[in-house]
Structure 1
């Protein structure tokens, strides 16, 4: 027995007019008729007498009015216990890859904190490989990653955005004078890359190996900021997502190298465990992420 059917019953019982009840409830007249018919079938009784266009509440209908009102009131009390309009509060534990943690998450978390100031956010930066295990062990509630985890059926993921990776160097690097750089011209170049067993740095090393291109040195650093500082000081070139170096490109501290090589993309994702209870803070985060994703898609379509 559905509460909406009881609500419809009470309005029809008061107005004794299906069309007027439909207008008050903002339903179609057929929906009102369906509600009453389903309720009568559920109870195996007739609640109204119909003589032409006139409707009368019968004895069985009179008996239902009081318990129907009570059930609706009880349902409203239950909803109040979990009313999403009340202040959302609690703790939200988020894990994130450094790229997203530093260059994408802050505006989203600022927006979240403005809407839900009573939620304490705990942000843990980790390698993308570590994030699924952190979710599995309930160390974090959600993760923002650059890896596709669709093969792990215990995880749900939301695709956020795609970004290109680019080769960058200091403005005075010798390769900046070359208009088109083939993959083979990267031979014996010093590379400064992120430490990772997966991801764009790993894909680049694998690509160079497949082409039998030997690099001079590969420095692996755990910090994106450290990588950029080393590149700016002429210690080598690097491959990074565009969002990571946008600021440095704009102020001329770094320049793009026109390397003709298969493009390596990153795909940002929000990941959470399928069996994880969607607490109000976590559900609120998911909703903001989905809203932002829809806005980005809309802007892209308009462009």
Structure 2
């Protein structure tokens, strides 16, 4: 099987459009059809079917897709292995939780771009729950999230750093007395939380449910900065990573609500698909991240 034919098949499988595939790969549409026909003849199966103007993968096509992706990755890996020079160029797509984008990832990406200026880094902010699917679909190359995915065998996970969260409110909030609070005193409060279905916001929701704490309402935001501003204006209280609110706490713009038994940590994870080919730029990014964690461990 010609690797060009496999790449054509994979692209059609993703785009489900022969014309768009032709434009993407800079082929004529007839060439795309020839590639697919050649593969179908070799395998003696039908990979796609047309219904009206739409293209769909057949059941056999769905089965063949992961094999095709693996063969292309291994062929490229073999080619790279025998290159005399390694060029750090091209692009990588990074998926990351908004929490990590707010305080941890930017300086590392800056360091990476300084070391490898010819690599274009595309950042895709999303919810942790989406990252396994994005990695499976190859729409991102690596993910940085807050969810433990050790139970998913198709993923390779590396734990990075841990941190603590704090419950914060405006300094003039009725609970901001400096005294230790019970979880029950949170009853009837308005909670402002990052949107999503994983990590510390979900842990807080589970704790409130376990302790039978009824919130007045729970509002979800797509931006940590929006949450902090709303908390400052007494629109509610929020659980946030301590490092995210350090400056506001130092300036007295926010206050910590010490709640007995409220111990919800964060744990950052780096995720790759196990079948992902680690290109030189992607391997370099992994090394930059792990080197930074090594320095942080030495400081601690």
TM > 0.5 between the two?
A: yes
Distance 1:255 1:130, change over 3 A: same
Structure 2 stretches of 5 or more lacking a match? 1-79
Structure 2: distance between partners of 1:116 and 1:127: 28
Structure 1 stretches of 5 or more lacking a match? 1-77
* Structure-1 residue corresponding to 2:77: none
Structure 2: distance between partners of 1:82 and 1:279: 15
Distance 1:131 1:79, change over 3 A: closer
- Given the alignment of the two structures, is residue 81 of structure 1 paired with residue 83 of structure 2, yes or no? yes
- Given the alignment of the two structures, is residue 110 of structure 1 paired with residue 85 of structure 2, yes or no? no
Structure 2: distance between partners of 1:252 and 1:273: 43
Residue pairs, 1:1-303, within 5 angstroms = 81-84=83-86, 87-300=87-300
Structure 1: distance between partners of 2:241 and 2:160: 15
Residues 124-180 of structure 1, C-alpha deviation per residue, up to 9 Å, x if partnerless? Answer: 000001111111000011011011111111111111100111100111111111411
Deviates more, 1:145-154 or 1:289-298: 289-298
Say how many residue pairs are matched. Answer: 221
Structure 1 counterpart SS, 2:128 = coil
The answer to whether the 8 A contact 2:102-2:224 is kept is no
Structure 2: distance between partners of 1:93 and 1:294: 24
User: Could you tell me how far 1:198 is from its partner in structure 2?
Assistant: 2.2
Structure 1 counterpart SS, 2:204 = helix
Structure 2: distance between partners of 1:165 and 1:82: 48
Structure 2 counterpart SS, 1:236 = coil
Structure 2: distance between partners of 1:237 and 1:291: 36
Provide TM-score, normalisation by structure 1.
0.70
Structure 2 counterpart SS, 1:204 = helix
Structure 2: distance between partners of 1:178 and 1:247: 18
User: Could you tell me how far 1:115 is from its partner in structure 2?
Assistant: 0.4
* Structure-2 residue corresponding to 1:59: none
* Structure-1 residue corresponding to 2:19: none
Structure 1: distance between partners of 2:93 and 2:120: 8
Structure 1 counterpart SS, 2:268 = strand
The structure with more radius of gyration: 1
Distance 1:203 1:80, change over 3 A: closer
Superposition misfits of 4+ residues, deviation over 6 angstroms:
none
Structure 2: distance between partners of 1:192 and 1:82: 54
The answer to whether the 8 A contact 2:183-2:262 is kept is no
User: Could you tell me how far 1:247 is from its partner in structure 2?
Assistant: 2.1
Distance 1:175 1:121, change over 3 A: same
